[in-house]
Amino acid sequence: MTQQHPNPRDLIKRLADELDHYRQLLMDDKRETHALATEARAYLSQPEPEGPTDEETELSPAAKAVQATVDAMCWDWGNMMPSSSDAIAAAALEAAADQVVPEQVEPPCGDTEPWPQGYQLMRDAQWEKCQQLRFEILAIAAELRGEDQPSSEEP
């Protein structure tokens, strides 16, 4: 039957004590402690970190999407081995591009919509900048994958 330990520091202390106990029984030397137990006690003597831990920090939906993509890419199931760091980095860049600059086929202001021309020009220019940014991020991902890169005139 397993017992839950809400504080890992308590568990570390108990393990260090047990390790010393068994070492003393085996070595018949009550004065000597195990080096690992000494290291664990040194760790326990440090103050506990303040602030939220990684497990307590809530990620945004965009960060979760990138994290899920990277997690899925870490293992190459076809070759049954870890994926290359280039493939993982490329997947992370592609996922980040999808979250920050989603693909949009045409500018938000169409020719037939009744937008003032100044507003339409501004929005179209913003769209072009966003699509160029997306293109540049995806070009880095393609380079990491060893793929041919399209010309930079095509966002």
Burial 93-107 (b: 16+ CB within 10 A, else e): bbbbbbbebeeeeeb
**Is 65 in the same domain as 122?**
yes
- Report how many domains make up the chain: 2
**Is 65 in the same domain as 102?**
yes
pLDDT digits (tens, 9 = 90+) for 30-78: 666 777 778 888 888 888 767 665 555 788 888 888 888 888 888 877 8
The kind and range of the H/E element at 82 are strand 81-82
Chain Cα centroid distance, residue 114: 43
Tell the residue number behind the tokens 């945004």, with chain if given: 60
8-27 vs 35-45: helix crossing angle, rounded to 10? 150
Mean pLDDT of all residues in 17-21: 80
**Is 85 in the same domain as 131?**
yes
Mean pLDDT of all residues in 69-89: 84
**Is 100 in the same domain as 29?**
no
Q: Which domain holds residue 127?
A: 61-145
Q: How many CB atoms lie within 10 A of CB 138?
A: 19
CA distance 10 to 48: 12
**Is 137 in the same domain as 75?**
yes
**Is 68 in the same domain as 122?**
yes
Residue 55 lies in a domain: no
Return the DSSP state at 32.
Answer: -
